[in-house]
Amino acid sequence: MSAPLNSKLLLDVSRVVDLPTPEPDSPYRPRQPYRFSTLCATVENPDRKDQYGASSVPIYQTATFKGINGEYDYSRSGNPTRSHLEHHIAKISSAAHGFAVSSGMAALDTILRLLKPSDAIIAGDDLYGGTNRLLGYLQTHQGITVHHVDTTDPSTLTPILKHENNITMVLLESPTNPLLKIVDIAGIAKEVKERIPDALVVVDNTMMSPALQRPLEHGADIVYDSATKYLSGHHDLMAGVITCNSDVIAKKLAFIINSTGNALTPFDCFLLLRGSKTLSLRLSQQSHTASLVANYLSSLGFPTFYPGLPNHPNRDIHERISSGYGAVLSFTTGEKELSERVVAGTRLWAVSVSFGCVNSLISMPCAMSHASIPAATRAARGLPEDLIRLCTGIEDPADLLDDLERALIDAGAVRRTANGLERVRTTINEAVARLALEDEVAEVKNSVVESHEKQWVVSAPGKVILFGEHAVVHGVPALAASLSLRCYGVTTPHTGAPNGKVSVHFLDIDAGEKEGGFRYEWDVEGLPWDAIPESAPPEGSEIPLDHELLEEITRSALPATLGSHARHASLAFLYLYMVLGKAAGWEVRPSFTFRIRGTLPVGAGLGSSASFSVCTATALLLTFGRISPPSPPSTLPSPPSPSSSSGSSSSSQAQSKLPKALADIVNAYAFLSEKILHGNPSGVDNSVAVYGGGLLYTKAMPSEGKEGGMVGIEGFTSRRFLLTNTRVPRNTKELVANVGKQKADEPEKVEKILNDIRRVVEKAGGVLAGSKDENGDLATLIHENHELLDQLRVSHPSLETVRCITGSESYNLATKLTGAGGGGCAVTLIPEGFSSSKLTSLIASLESEKFTSESFETYFTEVGGPGLGILSPSTSSSFTTSISHHSETPAQTLQDVQVQLDGKAASDTLVETFITKAKVELKDWVEGLEGWVYV
């Protein structure tokens, strides 16, 4: 019997599983390459056919596999479901190898494990908060150097791409999160390979996914994605993927994943495979909606960041390496509070971290995904606090736009007019720009006094270590607090045409050798500006010191005849002036004189150098417009004085008006100055001088696995103390070394002493955080701490003399050494109810003693007061007090006084008084000027 006519169309089902999957390069069925959406939907792996012909990859939910020498034995090392997923991810990523791990951060951690101590990484300055956190950990714990640069400008990498810098990895992301900055992946990869061929170029491709960008095609060595986002698309799993083409790199990554056990579980592999099938469809819809939203916001006048906008920086570069603009955008409203209202007012847009979901999300990165990055670092990297990030889903664009519009209206960001929606301008500058009122713009500009044309007055406290000296070197916390003894600085702009000079007048340096202290002047253009790298230094809690610039300033700008103190102080000032001046990019660099003096003794271990550093950093940051203080209220209290009641809290003495973000920036630059002055400072002195109050400082001990840090003591209560400077010189390094030797020789004995000191510090912190000390616990702890330090042999006969006098029956006060000991200062607690007559008698007794040619010196002070202070030049009475000391003219109105202040007479009067005022009168006079704002 002949076969039916259509028998040739029948298929032998028994042979179906033997048919090869039609791949683009299949020798069986040659055809044109598949499009991306087809690749996504085609999950089958020709090398791993399912024995039953399952159309969906099965979940091999097993930990172990039977048999010997099989392909799989333990799911940590390999699993069929994961093998299918990794083959699929590699295929759609143009990669030879793919790996699936437990999260995006696990993927980055796996890659960073390729590094070893002393290696260096170049990374961007607009990073995801988790990436920034992990890189910071590697810096402090693994000995790996991280250079943060603006990777959108390839020239910032060039000075660092040197073999001597040991660069082994360059970490890129494009577009960046959340500012959508575009990085030339291809161009940078090419330059890296030309300069350092062995360095790895690693790209975080999460924002684009393989659907829109495949960095391996543009020279990257390793690419990773947080598959939690677009690859999965549903936010129902955590996963990360890594792809590469190098067999050598793949072998290393596989070893790390197997060793650490962070491979993705079989069930999550199944979910990720399922989600990846619709990647192309989802992202196509999401990108289309993102483009509509971005154009909508931009048309309303909101600064909008999205690669698809015509004016987006480096859009042409993005279009060369990507096939779409993505589904993430961000915009600013002009006010943080306004942004918060917008975010809270949405209904369809869900408030959530992350992105890449089928549902649309809205967030404020600075308060959410990037909150782990310090505020000062965010500010330095240009990350606006009012930034809103939008991640579009697959909802109907009309519904999303309607929901966003309602939130904008309800929040007061836009309003309806006869001509349609209109953005409510939030700043004068924006309103003027919108109305294009050129005459008014010119008038406003003419009336504004630039920051470098103002006269700034700043102050910062000294510090005293109350508990934990010496033990802090061995990982025991130390308790430090601010003093009411302070350092004060004044900047005086050179009026009229810029004279091209910058000068300093350090009244407390060389005061005994030169009348009026140390003075010096530099020609601004003669400074070694070419020695400053073109790229701005990365900013954060710690700014790296450029030793080459330091050496060049020392060589070309500082005479060899300068004394040690003058040389170091001048070097710190010039270094900060030049670094900030270069970053400002002003055509005319400011000409001014910086004068500084204080009530702190220099070289007594009371933080005089840190106070100097904070004043210098603050004055220069103000001069260059990097920070600006808020206008103070008319009745802001001055810092506490020793005459105030001793049991009062520092928070009640001065309102906290300077924002923490400002304080953080100042602290970073003050710490940089301290590095110049001391080489390897702990950071505790400048932190106390900036933030005030009290803090617990713990030194990091990497060899013992102990992390360091500083923690402010909440509710720190001010106390009155008498500081006695014995004027006995001490060798801090020798004293510290001797304690270390004792620990090596008698470890059990010294460890017990250190543990006892730790107990004292912890108890003291609790006492100082309370408002009362009715049981005299603080005096007892002071005695205990000194006796323990005496056991470490760091006291001195001069200090014991102070203790003998203060502890006598006449006074019965608690005294201990402070700082390194071996001389220097002692600190005595002055309790409530201690009479002024007794205090006068005590001071006379102490100042009659001497161990050198000079008698003891005493300072009655309060501990735990405010930190950094700035005298705002915008207040009505900023300098009224200084003027009234020399004139019978009554206090004037805001306009009258400001006019007078802008004149030469008022400025000269302030400076003259500042220079000539007796030290005992300086504090009351300076702090009597109205308009101070403090941390």
Enumerate the active-site residues.
76, 128, 204, 229
Chain centroid, CA 563 distance in Å: 35
Residue type, 563: G
Which strands, in side-by-side order, build the sheet including 387-391?
A: 304-305, 328-332, 387-391, 361-363, 350-351
DSSP 197-244: TT-EEEEE-TTTHHHH--GGGGT-SEEEEETTTTTT-SSS---EEEEE
Cα separation of 263 and 240, whole Å? Answer: 9
DSSP 472: G
Q: Calculate the alpha carbon distances from 841 to 92, 719, 836 in Å.
A: 85, 20, 9
How many Cα atoms are found within 13 Å in the side-chain-facing hemisphere of 897? 20
DSSP 760-822: HHHHHHHHHTSS--TT-HHHHHHHHHHHHHHHTT---HHHHHHHHHHTSTTT---EEEETT-S
| The pair of three-digit structure tokens given for residue 782, joined into one six-digit string | 């002071």
Q: Cβ distance 239 to 272 under 8 Å?
A: yes
Is residue 416 classed as helix, strand or coil in its secondary structure?
A: strand
Residue type, 935: V
Helical H segments across 448-593, by residue range: 547-557, 564-584
Cα separation of 480 and 262, whole Å? Answer: 43
> 458: which strand partners?
489, 870
DSSP 326: -
DSSP 649: B
Q: Cβ distance 806 to 488 under 8 Å?
A: no
Which strands, in side-by-side order, build the sheet including 222-226?
A: 97-101, 240-244, 222-226, 200-204, 167-173, 120-124, 145-149
User: In 623-674, at which residue ranges do the beta strands (DSSP E only) sit?
Assistant: none
C-alpha closest to that of 683 among 792, 577, 610: 610
Q: Cβ distance 307 to 325 under 8 Å?
A: yes
C-alpha closest to that of 307 among 329, 292, 289: 329
Cα separation of 801 and 797, whole Å? Answer: 6
Cα separation of 82 and 65, whole Å? Answer: 14
Residues 6+ apart with CB under 8 A from 755: 476
DSSP 9-47: G---GGGGGGSPP--TT-SSS--PPPPHHHHHH----TT
C-alpha closest to that of 838 among 809, 872, 863, 866: 809
Q: Calculate the alpha carbon distances from 855 to 507, 610, 727, 827, 850 in Å.
A: 22, 26, 8, 17, 4
Q: Which residue has the tokens 């009475």?
A: 877
- 3-class secondary structure per residue, 475-486: CCCEEEEEEEEE
Residue type, 790: D
Angle at 374 (CA atoms; ends 159, 124), nearest 5 degrees = 30
How many Cα atoms are found within 13 Å in the side-chain-facing hemisphere of 861? 28
